[in-house]
Structure 1
Amino acid sequence: MSDSVSDCIRSRTAISEAAAEAMVRGICFKTGPPRRLGVELEWLVHDRGAPRRPVPAERLDAVYAALRSVPLDSALTVEPGGQLELSSRPAASLMECVDSVAADLDAVRAVLDGHGLALVGIGHDPWQPPRRFLRQPRYDAMEACLDRNGPAGRAMMCTSASVQVCVDAGYEEPGPLGYVRRWWLAHHLGAVLVAAFAHSPLAAGRPTGWLSTRQLRWTQIGPARAGGAPLDTDPRRAWARHVLDSPVMCVRGDAVPWEVPAELTFREWTGSGMPRPPTQEDLDYHLTTLFPSVRPRGHLELRMIDAQPGDDGWMVPLAVTAALFDDPEATETAYRSVKPLAERTLGMPAPHNPLWRDAARAGLTDPELRDAAVTCFTAALAALPRLGAATGVTEAVAGYLDRYVSRGRCPADDLLDRPDSPGPAPTRDIRP
């Protein structure tokens, strides 16, 4: 890292455009052998006995106060609409991640059950309109910023939930596990994951015409906030340029509400120094206000998967993604299977290209996506024993392949078959 960037870190003085770009390049891809795995699980929280009824804020306050005293290995946070999020620690293996998060979820569910509440894995609330639970300067500014493009931002903040899988960036050197290949793979395999795990076809009690309404909301937010970088041969350069050319969400200060400038990019901010010069802390914060489908944070954060039904449904996308990224044979198979799909991106970043839109709208009824999904899930299934997966996890992936992928279906189809009954679905325990 250059001396100028180091000086900015130490003194928290104004950061220049060159220093900002160098810093983003330095932190976005931490390369090395793929060793760590993580998952971030977002859940809607519904009244167990009356899931269509909004949960009053005082009930959410009470249950979250109770959860703060529960020892968990994962970090527990609350989303703006009251959704609950569990973020695992980086794990050394798939089963370490599964076992740790599953134990935490058991503890969380026990507390919620005592309050008559339940965690529900659906990508977009099928009944409730967006309703803010958290009142904080960050979310006030986010709402004001996103409102400029319409109501989709509030839906994303308050009525959406996902399974986000985190994998290491990969080796510096070229190859199946190199970071350039993994970056490319994440953006094309991502469309297959959107289609295979789509689980949000409803809003306000009616079908939206999209199997993943959650992905629809991201496209409606627009590429400035929810878009990604071009798939350049140099991901570091492309991502750094994207970060600097993206609009600033807000300028934080002691006074609230925070200022929400219109169309001020971070690059322009470093040049103008107005309304005050940006610092390295502002750059760090700016990075948290960008929501691409694949976000490089040293590791790769895959943000495209809808929350899944059942108590343990989240384990399937975690296991499939881990296998396709960290087993060399499965990675190569996945790469070959999704390579033909690249023509449908038209060179546009996710999720605002035709491939991703087709995946979110049509799911696995799209023949090319279905074929790619069958190949990828089959490769993942073969790889899981090599990654030390427990029999229960392997059987769950095999069951998902048979129930959904091989038949060109996804969980959204189940909701459309029974639109009056989304809620805590019964599930068998797929742990060892």
Structure 2
Amino acid sequence: MTADLLEDEAEAHVRGVCFKTGPPARTGVELEWLVHDRSDPRTLITADRLDAALAPVEVPGAIPRGSRMTREPGGQVELSSPPAGSLTECVEAMAADLAALRAAMDRADLVLTGFGLDPYRNPPRLLDHPRYAAMEGFFDREGPWGRTMMRRTASLQINLDSGDDSAGITGYRQRWELAHRIGPVLVAAFANSPLSEGRPTGWVSTRQATWAAMDPGRTRQPDHDPDPRSAWARYALDARVLCIRGDEAATAGGKEADWTAPPGLTFRDWLRGAAHGLRRPTVADLDYHLSTLFPPVRPRGWLELRMIDAQDGDAWVVPTALTATLLDDPVAADAALAATEALCLDGQPLPPADVWRRAARIGPADPDIGKAVGACFTAVESALARSDSPAALRAAVAAFAERYAERGRCPAHDQLDALSRV
């Protein structure tokens, strides 16, 4: 982990650790929440108040099913489930852990709010860590979007196995392609961030628009390659270095630390010795660099789908069920590939950037995207009916489809409707 790293070794390492193959079986979900004051959602929550609210659930065993709780720079709170053996197990475990977190918030007169972007506040950065200071400085060079992402956004991430070595629907190559094919569908169907500073932004997913405006070398999808491992290795090494990790012990001891990376330095440049006066990178540096890449689908030994806005209340179960079913049920997967064919232009296998923008701007009101959203919901409803999934889960998906997908709407429209009634 501490020896100098060569370029071919780096490429081999990325290929090996980011796509671990095997039969797809596990499901995980990460729920990120904005934290609001119960009586006034415009109130800024201090670090001390958040610390006091979360203290009861930071005791070992307080989160009953083992989800990991973390905090984001703007005071958002995230629960990350352990991998579950089925969709049903994942949903049930996260529901139990979320209930514990909500109870702690309730005792502190705080609420977990599931919007993709805070519609009212622009909070300060609450986490004083050199990673976030370096990240903020990196993104500040190109505009305000990085600070917005770090402090004001919240997402819902689905984690699924990469797949096996087969050439079929369970293979990692096709699962990688399908995850990107349904990406704009998921953006549109669950868009939930149309407001900023209390006013419409012109986007139904301002969160996704924010990501798209940031450093494209770490936020866009990789160029298509029949071999996803090669595509990802190129992407990772050609991305600019966001920060260079220093001494964690010194940081924990309260000492000043500067993790700022030289401007414009890619990891490949660093491997080739282009950063004069800077030590050579190690495997540990490469692993940390991989954690600073934020594309819509991030391979981490599994596939992490990162393009979905946070959902309010218990609506998170619907994108979790939709995504897991589209990738893990062979019939639904085939239907999703067919449904998204029209989103892939000029014979390309993946939707272009324009489709992602349309999904974020107008959501399922876009005719082609809306049609794909409807077809994917139909396929998932049929798949769940064939399975032993709980009736409550099937009902939640059906109710969401009736309220939104079948009407060319998404949760963002509820926020816009509420604003128009004020």
Indicate the TM-score class for this superposition, using the shorter chain for normalisation: over 0.9
More displaced 10-residue stretch of structure 1: 252-261 or 114-123: 252-261
More displaced 10-residue stretch of structure 1: 174-183 or 253-262: 253-262
Matches within 5 A, 1:354-365: 354-365=354-365
Q: How far is the alpha carbon of 1:65 from its aligned partner?
A: 2.3
* Corresponding residue for residue 307 of structure 1: 310
CA spacing shift, 1:348–1:246, aligned 2, 3 Å: farther
Q: How far is the alpha carbon of 1:318 from its aligned partner?
A: 0.3
Q: How far is the alpha carbon of 1:186 from its aligned partner?
A: 1.0
More displaced 10-residue stretch of structure 1: 210-219 or 251-260: 251-260
Q: Deviations over 1:211-262 (max 9, x none)?
A: 0000011011131231221111111001001101110011222361223211
More displaced 10-residue stretch of structure 1: 406-415 or 226-235: 226-235
Q: How far is the alpha carbon of 1:345 from its aligned partner?
A: 10
**C-alpha distance in 2 between matches for 1:181 and 1:382:** 22
Q: How far is the alpha carbon of 1:136 from its aligned partner?
A: 0.5
Q: Secondary structure of 1:112's match?
A: helix
Q: Secondary structure of 2:303's match?
A: strand
1:242 aligns with 2:235: yes
**C-alpha distance in 1 between matches for 2:127 and 2:309:** 22
- 1:263 aligned partner, one-letter code: G
Gaps spanning 5+ residues in structure 1: where?
A: 1-8, 423-432
Q: How far is the alpha carbon of 1:346 from its aligned partner?
A: 7.3
Contact 1:144–1:260 (Cα < 8 Å) also in 2:
no
Contact 1:43–1:307 (Cα < 8 Å) also in 2:
yes
Q: Deviations over 1:49-93 (max 9, x none)?
A: 111111122211211223212234100000111100000000001
From 113, 116, 124, the equivalent of 2:117 is 124
- What's the RMSD between the two structures over aligned residues? 1.7
**C-alpha distance in 1 between matches for 2:272 and 2:28:** 37
Contact 2:44–2:123 (Cα < 8 Å) also in 1:
no
Between the two proteins, what is the percent identity of the paired residues?
A: 53
* Corresponding residue for residue 414 of structure 2: 414
**C-alpha distance in 1 between matches for 2:34 and 2:338:** 36
From 278, 283, 287, the equivalent of 1:284 is 287
Gaps spanning 5+ residues in structure 2: where?
A: 248-255
1:171 aligns with 2:164: yes
**C-alpha distance in 1 between matches for 2:346 and 2:84:** 35
From 304, 316, 323, the equivalent of 2:318 is 316
Q: Secondary structure of 2:91's match?
A: helix
Contact 2:118–2:152 (Cα < 8 Å) also in 1:
yes
Contact 2:54–2:104 (Cα < 8 Å) also in 1:
no
Contact 2:33–2:114 (Cα < 8 Å) also in 1:
yes
More displaced 10-residue stretch of structure 1: 340-349 or 137-146: 340-349
- 2:328 aligned partner, one-letter code: D
**C-alpha distance in 2 between matches for 1:121 and 1:47:** 14
1:52 aligns with 2:55: no
Contact 2:343–2:351 (Cα < 8 Å) also in 1:
no
CA spacing shift, 1:232–1:349, aligned 2, 3 Å: farther
**C-alpha distance in 2 between matches for 1:261 and 1:117:** 40
- 1:320 aligned partner, one-letter code: L
1:336 aligns with 2:328: no
Contact 1:345–1:354 (Cα < 8 Å) also in 2:
no
Aligned length: 409
Q: Secondary structure of 2:264's match?
A: coil
Q: How far is the alpha carbon of 1:387 from its aligned partner?
A: 4.1
Contact 1:67–1:111 (Cα < 8 Å) also in 2:
yes
From 154, 165, 177, the equivalent of 1:161 is 154
TM-score, with length taken from structure 1? 0.92
